[in-house]
Amino acid sequence: MKMKKIMILAAGITAAQFAFAQATDSKKKISQPVIITGSVDGYYRYDFHNPKTASYNSLTSFTRSSNSFELGMASLRADHSFGKVSATVDLGFGKRAEEFAYNDANTRLAIKQLYVTYAPSSVIKFTLGTWGTHIGYEVLDPYLNRNYSMSYMFTNGPFTHTGLKADINLGGKSALMVGISNPIDFRSVPAAPKTFIAQFSTGSKNDKLKVYLNFAGGKQTDYKKLIQADIVATYSVCSQFSIGINGTMQSVKTDIDSNGTFNKSNWSGIALYLNYDPATWVGLTLRGEYISDKDAYLGLKNAFAPTLSANFKIDNLTIIPEFRFDRTGNSLFYKNATATSKSTGSFLLAAVYHF
């Protein structure tokens, strides 16, 4: 009888251990749900010179229209993770997406981002695919920016990188990213040279101050070499007021005649963002941007562009009225079909919804 009890107890323990192992194994294999997010946006822009032809006195990305209601972009993103591996698919449809993926021509359905990641430990994570650039303060998705129109630095900097990168946790608030990619903004370029990318980020213990040092550089083609250094810093003064700053410098060497002689051009820019939120449903942002372009590589010579935007929030909807003034060192803005000016002003009204 005693032996029988022992056998029954042993069988019970074995069954319990098997059930626990099965449950544990099942937990390990349970996939996380797919997370779906997205956004839609549209806008109306009026340039006070009311030009009749493109680019309608808009020299920055995504708002090249005047006196017209325009669709921006419909965006849909899916994120999924399974253990140490994850994947992201981020698609955009519309003129904004088409401009962003300008090297993938002839389609308004664009791949904004597409990548897989592997994190063997909490210290390092590898990413392979296409992702939005780490350079600059502003990003493609309008609901993540407080100004709707884009800066000159965003327009003339990298949009995306396609390659392999490693994100390394250095401890505390510091991290390092290093990677290698195709030439800037190219998804597919067989046998092309490669670009080195890097970012060092850090911040204060209370997260009020965050600093990002960014770099991208390398041979883009046999006739073009590019180096760009960039810094972004944000500081939260209080719950209602924050400051952002972005400074960038780009050096480009080009061999226009393909004779082996490279000409060097430099341009740089700085932008200050002042963000004030007097209430949860309204915010104001003043962006002041200055571009130094003495070599006229961008065709601007020098440019100054203050922009004042308001953000009125109704649940997930943000209404953005915006006034912008642009002045350049040369006459780039059309007053009519023949007369030009060094400056122009514009008003914009945008609606952005995200989920």
251-297 residue pLDDT tens: 999 988 777 788 999 999 999 999 999 999 999 999 999 999 999 99
* CA-based nearest residue to 146, from 14, 315, 272, 2: 272
- The answer to whether position 3 is within a domain reads no
Q: What is the DSSP letter of 119?
A: -
Look at residue 29 in the predicted model and tell me its pLDDT: 57
Task: Show Cβ contacts of residue 232 under 8 Å, excluding neighbours closer than 6 positions.
Answer: 136, 137, 211, 212, 214, 244, 245, 246
pLDDT at 14 over 50: no
- The answer to whether position 1 is within a domain reads no
- The answer to whether position 192 is within a domain reads yes
Average confidence (pLDDT) over 94-115: 90
Query: Which of 51-55, 132-136, 226-230 shows the lowest mean pLDDT across its residues?
Result: 51-55
Q: What's the domain count of the chain?
A: 1
- The answer to whether position 303 is within a domain reads yes
What CATH number does the domain containing 90 carry? 2.40.160.10
pLDDT at 220 over 80: yes
- The answer to whether position 261 is within a domain reads yes
- The answer to whether position 22 is within a domain reads no
Look at residue 180 in the predicted model and tell me its pLDDT: 98
- The answer to whether position 148 is within a domain reads yes
Q: Bigger pLDDT: 98 or 258?
A: 98
Report pLDDT digits (tens) over 60-73: 999 999 999 999 99
Report pLDDT digits (tens) over 295-348: 999 999 899 999 999 999 999 999 999 999 999 999 999 998 889 999 999 999
pLDDT band of 5, cuts 50, 70, 90: very low
Using CB atoms within 10 A of its CB, is residue 29 exposed (0-12), middle (13-18) or buried (19+)? Answer: exposed
pLDDT band of 169, cuts 50, 70, 90: very high
d(CA 148, CA 145): 7
pLDDT band of 28, cuts 50, 70, 90: low
The model carries a pTM of 0.89
Task: Show Cβ contacts of residue 321 under 8 Å, excluding neighbours closer than 6 positions.
Answer: 309, 310, 312, 347, 348, 349
d(CA 348, CA 42): 11
Summary mean pLDDT of the chain = 91
Look at residue 199 in the predicted model and tell me its pLDDT: 98
Task: Show Cβ contacts of residue 17 under 8 Å, excluding neighbours closer than 6 positions.
Answer: none
Q: Which amino acid is at 195?
A: T
Report pLDDT digits (tens) over 132-154: 999 999 999 999 999 999 999 99
Q: Bigger pLDDT: 339 or 25?
A: 339
pLDDT at 13 over 60: no
Look at residue 106 in the predicted model and tell me its pLDDT: 67
Average confidence (pLDDT) over 190-218: 96
Q: Which residues pair with 13 in a beta bridge?
A: none
> What percentage of residues in the chain have a pLDDT greater than 70?
92
- The answer to whether position 260 is within a domain reads yes
Number of Cβ within 10 Å of residue 22's Cβ equals 10
Look at residue 108 in the predicted model and tell me its pLDDT: 83
Q: List alpha helices for 44-158, DSSP H.
A: 95-100, 152-156
Look at residue 52 in the predicted model and tell me its pLDDT: 87
Q: Bigger pLDDT: 52 or 107?
A: 52
Look at residue 337 in the predicted model and tell me its pLDDT: 82
What domain range includes position 224? 32-354
